[in-house]
Amino acid sequence: MNRRQFLTTAAWSPVVLVLGAKFIATLRPYSLQDMLTRLRAFNPEQLASVGSWNASQILQHCAQSIRYSIRGYPQHYSAVFQNTAGKLALNLFAASGRMHHPLDEVIPGAPELVPGLPNDLAIRELMYEIQQFINWQGEMAPHFAYGSLSKAQYYSVHYLHLDSHLAQIYQRR
């Protein structure tokens, strides 16, 4: 391989990687109905968390995220971040089927989570927000880290975000 071929290949490799990840991401099904089924199976009185937030705070955080995808996030990262690292992370998460992020990181500008909110109220709030999202027919608000997203992209974001956080919740016996 000569120098010109090497430079051309090196320049196109990131583009091919991103487009490949984006294509794979579109093939994965992300059902929020499945998440509603998981939430209905919870016994609110027996929920506990392995993370730094209690189960209620986790559920509240997830509800906030879904609500903001319709109503708008309180604060955003820069457009440069959204259109570079944000989009790359989004596509890699969707392609891999896993979201990796600090599980006790609040949404920028969001109100504080209420540690003492009963689990049953937090579950109902989250289920309500999921149903609102499913039924939503309007424009989607830009994501604070990923920028403008289609509803299909938001399905994957919300599913992966919920899946990541719900893995911290367990039922005590």
Residue 26 has pLDDT above 70, yes or no: no
pLDDT category of residue 173 using cuts at 50, 70 and 90: confident
pLDDT in tens, 108-148: 999 999 999 999 999 999 999 999 999 999 999 999 999 99
Mean pLDDT of the region 51-68: 98
Total domains in the chain come to 1
Structural domain span for residue 155: 3-171
Residue 164 has pLDDT above 80, yes or no: yes
Q: Structure pTM?
A: 0.84
The pLDDT value given to residue 7: 56
Closest CA to 100 of 147, 40, 38, 164: 164
pLDDT in tens, 61-108: 999 999 999 999 999 999 999 999 999 999 999 999 999 899 999 999
Mean pLDDT of the region 22-49: 83
pLDDT category of residue 30 using cuts at 50, 70 and 90: confident
Q: Which residues of 51-86 are buried (b: 16+ CB within 10 A; e: fewer)?
A: eebbbbbbbbbbbbbbbbbbeebeebbeeebbeeeb
The pLDDT value given to residue 44: 97
Q: Convert the chain into a string of H (helix), E (strand) and C (coil).
A: CCHHHHHHHHHHHHHHHHHHHHHHHHHCCCCHHHHHHHHHCCCHHHEEECCCCCHHHHHHHHHHHHHHHHHCCCCCCCHHHHHHHHHHHHHHHHHHCCCCCCCCCCCCCCCCCCCCCCHHHHHHHHHHHHHHHHHCCCCCCCECCCECCCHHHHHHHHHHHHHHHHCCEEECC
The pLDDT value given to residue 8: 60
The pLDDT value given to residue 34: 94
